[in-house]
Amino acid sequence: MTREVTFSKAVNEAIAEEMRRDKSVFLMGEDVAEAGTPFKVLSGLVEEFGTDRVLDTPISEPGFMGIAIGAAMTGSRPIVDLMFGDFLYLVMDQLCNQAAKTHYMSGGKLNVPLVLRTNLGATRRSGAQHSQSLHALVAHIPGLQVALPSSAFAAKGLLKTAVRNDNPVVIFEDKLMYQEKGPVPEGEYQIPFGEAEILREGEHVTLVGTSSMVQVCGEAAEILDDDGISAEVIDPRTIVPLDEQTILDSVKKTSRAVVVDEGHRNFGVTAEIASRISEKAFYYLDAPVIRLGAMDVPVPFSPALEDLTVPTPESVADMARRICHGEHVHGA
């Protein structure tokens, strides 16, 4: 039985179900209890689980991140709420020097089973410090796994998988998507990490989109349809691990790829995926692999400027169309 629920509700359900299932799971972060976070994603959880398992913290991101790691190393399974993805910079030492390396540095004897939930996405008119998409930063660090749900269904399924993973997992939710509804089954389900989803099959070009850009790629594919260009849309769902094979198989079929991600383009997720395509499907490529990401500027406040910084269905369709027509793009 599948209902339509919001992305936000899907996250909430995943946490509630996991906390009911496993007493070692608890929630911590700023304003996670009665406030239920500014996005109201966690509303109602403190009523069910109490303040013993839904811990409001001071505004001390490095501190509660460190505490979560220690708790995870000693038998708890914390879910940490980092209010904005932009605050990742505050927790980088704990996340990258501690959580990511503990299992390795201990020769496999210590585990850090924690989930760090945070968000990404611009165009909320929130300015440069509340609009970033910083998942590439985390994906760069060995020892961390990174999930990027693009729908209510994925949000719930990936989060449940993350909670049961014995490693630190960072989940980035698209904060613009919280109120969007999507089909979510009633019963128990998980989405395995490292399995991409093919949202739409196509022949002429592969559009690889992550998180917020999955919808954008879907809409771009509709636009391309009108031009007689058939686009395949792939959502990797996790970037660490990355389901390379599904992407490569698609590109080998279509010979063209546009990779779209809301992180900055420079040295980002799109660069990684594009380079893997270039390395591993080189002789199948009939056009340069195109990367589309957030413009390499701090996210501006003014709507007139902010909207320029993020890939749109039109910009994705335009690049796809150009490579399908054999245009000499970027002087390649």
Partner 1 sequence: MAHEVLMPALGMAQDSGVIVAWHKSVGDHVKAGELLMEVETDKAVMEVEAQTDGYLSEIFSGEGEDVPVGQAIAVIALTQDTPASGRPSAPQPAPVITPETGTAPADRPATASPPAARTEKPAGYRILASPKARSLAAERGLDLSRLVASGHPQPYHVADLDLLTDMEATTRVGAATATRASAPALALQNLFSWLETEIEQVPGAVLAAFAAASYRAAAEIGIVTVLVREPTRSTAVFVDPDRSGLAALVPTDTSSAPDLVLNDLTSERGTEFRPGEGSVPEFSVAFEGDRVVATLAATTVSLDDDQRFACLDDFVGRLDEPLRHLL
Partner 2 sequence: MDETLNNNVGQFLRMYRQMVRIRVFEDNANQLYLSARMPGLTHMYSGQEAVAVGICEALTDKDHVTSTHRGHGHCIAKGARFKEMFCELLGKEEGYCRGKGGSMHIADQANGNLGANAIVGGSTGIATGAALTSKMQGKGTVTVCFFGDGATAQGIWYEVMNMAALWQLPVIYACENNGYSEYTSTAEIAAGSIIARAEAFGIESYKVDGQDVLAVNRLAQDLVTRARNGDGPFFVELETYRFHGHHVGDINRAYYRSKDEESEWKTERDPIANFRNWLLTENIAGTDELAAIVAEVEADAAAAVAYAMEAKFPEQSEVDMHVFAGVRHSLPYIDGSAR
Active-site annotation, residues? 61, 130
The answer to whether residue 111 forms part of the interface with partner 2 (CB under 8 A) is yes
Query: Which 3 state secondary structure label does DSSP give 316?
Result: helix
Q: Work out which of 5, 33, 73, 134 binds partner 2, going by CB under 8 A.
A: 73
Would you say the C-alpha torsion 179, 183, 188, 194 has a positive or negative sign? negative
Q: Does 67 bind partner 2 (CB under 8 A)?
A: yes
Taking CB under 8 A as the rule, does residue 55 contact partner 1? no
Q: Is 49 in the site for partner 2 (CB under 8 A)?
A: no
**Look-up of token digits 């990367």:** 291
Q: Is 283 in the site for partner 1 (CB under 8 A)?
A: yes
Does residue 102 interact with partner 2 by CB under 8 A?
A: yes
Instruction: Name residue, tokens 């691990």.
Output: 241
Window contacting partner 2 (CB under 8 A); options: 164-172, 178-186, 197-205, 287-295: 164-172
Task: Please report whether residue 287 would count as binding partner 1 according to CB under 8 A.
Answer: yes
* Residue 284 binding partner per list partner 2, partner 1, none, with a CB distance cut-off of 5 to 8 Å that depends on partner kind: partner 1
65 is a contact residue toward partner 2 (CB under 8 A): yes
Interior angle at CA 85, CA 167 and CA 258, nearest 5: 85
Q: HSE-up of 57 (CA within 13 Å, CB side)?
A: 21
Distance CA 330, CA 310 (A): 19
Is the Cβ–Cβ distance between 178 and 8 less than 8 Å? yes
Pairing mode, strands 181-185 and 2-6 = antiparallel
Tell me the closest approach of the beta carbon of residue 206 to partner 1, in angstroms.
13
286: contact with partner 1 by CB under 8 A: yes
Between 14 and 96, CB nearer to partner 2: 96
Residues with Cβ within 8 Å of residue 271, at least 6 apart in sequence? 265, 291
Q: Pick what 72 binds: partner 1, partner 2, none; C-beta below 5 to 8 Å, kind-dependent.
A: partner 2
Whole-angstrom Cα Rg for the chain: 20
| Options 63-71, 149-157, 296-304, 323-331: segment touching partner 2 (CB under 8 A) | 63-71
Residue pair 291/259 in contact by the 8 Å Cβ criterion: yes
Where along the sequence are the contacts to partner 1 (CB under 8 A)?
255, 282-287, 326, 328, 332
